[in-house]
Structure 1
């Protein structure tokens, strides 16, 4: 029977990790990650490699929890599950940020974006990488032991806050873009072969799931090692594992393979339509 063991006098775990739960989520993330990899290679959507890598991170993280069940005093299984599960959403976000830029270019809606499209991916992906590095650094300090735990938690909180802020700005940019597209009657110029609205809505739902997860994580680390969210196992599976699995399912169902600016065929008379609109009406700015 497994027992809680200390590592140099410090208890890494507040509970004994559940093997059935870890196996279940390892299988779920393994299956959905394989599907993502298959779809990415089939459609040659190479910019989604970060998203698929996030799925691999999730799979490795939950496998780490399986090995941690009988080794609660061992540092390596704890580090693997902690770091890989913590950082996976940042990889999901990187691909999602690039999808928005491709949507905007695909529908020739650059002038309706509140951020210049050439800078959009750079700003959000750059912020995401920054958040990733902060969280990775905090996780590295956290797993060293009791004396460094609080410092590691504070650094992770800082990285998660950066992630939440970037997601908030990302959601605002996407919403304003869609509103402007409809207000300027541009949406009707593109046929159903370019599912830009469905893809944009997919980004909303996936972003919401990651946002909720990140906010719960912030609360978790603010509460500290003695807090309820770290002392119990179920919040990890409900507010992290389940939400991230849902994110991967949402992204897979509306995969952005068709949102490719190089393959878009401009609708007939689009230039004339746009020119007529610019002569007849003056549109307010959002």
Structure 2
């Protein structure tokens, strides 16, 4: 298919091959590191994040393919990059949500949580699944519209609105999650538990990882909302720098944060799986809570 049909154009610019290759390499390295840590430490609740990393990796391969095709783009590479880069952060969010409940249990701070611990993961992951499905289905409708058949003339517009709705759901739930995590930390700091003051329970750095990663996803989602509200002729979608600075770079930094502050430490202290010390050695006797 050509780059333009039925009024549809793949890109408002020629995608950069160099930028695409750079981010392919970045996500390949960080995702392989996460895969290694996942398998070695058995931190299974981080599987969604690792899958999201592979989505980012393949998504930027799609952008590289589009860059190679310029200006005669086909829909295949465009669909790959637009869909996978859109929904990958929802997978990151699922793992982030699941870690908070484990931190709360670790420090025995259930009474300080805004939402009951047994509901925390369920509520936030349910919202994340809703956001994921909305964005994925919206991307599917946009793809249908991109194929250019007259019967699908309104599909692209509908898909765009569904994606915007999914991004708003993501922003709402992530905002509520961030408030919940910050409030929990404030309450726990003000009324310490025996576990929270123990030196071998490094919960503060793990909450920092959750706070910072949540902010990264929020910023990325807000920029994405602006992008889809403005439409294909808008300033954000017409300038490639936004996809790299406010999406690719932010999501890469998020994955790096969780390489440095890996949740296997929390998992290990809960007696689930193993952890890694700073020198890379495995902790073989987890502390039971």
TM-score of the alignment, normalized to the shorter chain, above 0.5: yes
In 2 relative to 1, CA 226–181 (structure 1 residues): closer, same or farther, beyond 3 Å?
Answer: same
Q: Of residues 234, 244, 260 in structure 2, which corresponds to 1:253?
A: 260
For the residue of structure 1 that corresponds to 2:232, the secondary structure is coil
Distance 1:9 1:225 in 2: 11
Partner in structure 2 of residue 96 of structure 1? 96
Shift of 1:190: 3.7
Which is greater in Rg? 1
Aligned residues: 263
In 2 relative to 1, CA 158–21 (structure 1 residues): closer, same or farther, beyond 3 Å?
Answer: same
Distance 1:111 1:194 in 2: 18
Structure 2: gaps of 5 or more residues: 147-152, 272-285
**Contact 2:106–2:195 under 8 Å retained in 1:** no
- What RMSD over aligned residues (CA atoms) do the two structures have, in Å? 1.6
In 2 relative to 1, CA 131–187 (structure 1 residues): closer, same or farther, beyond 3 Å?
Answer: farther
Distance 1:87 1:189 in 2: 35
TM-score (norm 1): 0.88
In 2 relative to 1, CA 199–187 (structure 1 residues): closer, same or farther, beyond 3 Å?
Answer: farther
Shift of 1:185: 2.4
Distance 2:196 2:66 in 1: 55
Partner in structure 2 of residue 218 of structure 1? 225
Partner in structure 1 of residue 173 of structure 2? 166
Distance 1:167 1:264 in 2: 31
Distance 2:171 2:240 in 1: 23
Shift of 1:189: 4.7
1:41 paired with 2:39, answer yes
Partner in structure 1 of residue 30 of structure 2? 32
Structure 1 or 2: more helix by fraction: 1
- What are the superposed Cα offsets for residues 1-51 of structure 1, whole Å, 9 maximum, x if unpaired? xxx832455212212211111000000000000001111111110110101
**Contact 1:194–1:258 under 8 Å retained in 2:** no
**Contact 1:202–1:250 under 8 Å retained in 2:** yes
Matches within 5 A, 1:62-77: 62-71=60-69, 72-77=72-77
Shift of 1:186: 2.0
Q: Of residues 47, 56, 59 in structure 1, which corresponds to 2:57?
A: 59
Distance 1:62 1:235 in 2: 14
- What are the superposed Cα offsets for residues 221-262 of structure 1, whole Å, 9 maximum, x if unpaired? 000111011111111101000111011111111001111323
**Contact 1:138–1:153 under 8 Å retained in 2:** yes
Partner in structure 2 of residue 278 of structure 1? none
Distance 1:248 1:204 in 2: 13
Partner in structure 2 of residue 17 of structure 1? 15
Partner in structure 2 of residue 280 of structure 1? none
Partner in structure 1 of residue 114 of structure 2? 114
Partner in structure 2 of residue 85 of structure 1? 85
Distance 1:52 1:41 in 2: 11
Distance 1:192 1:198 in 2: 12
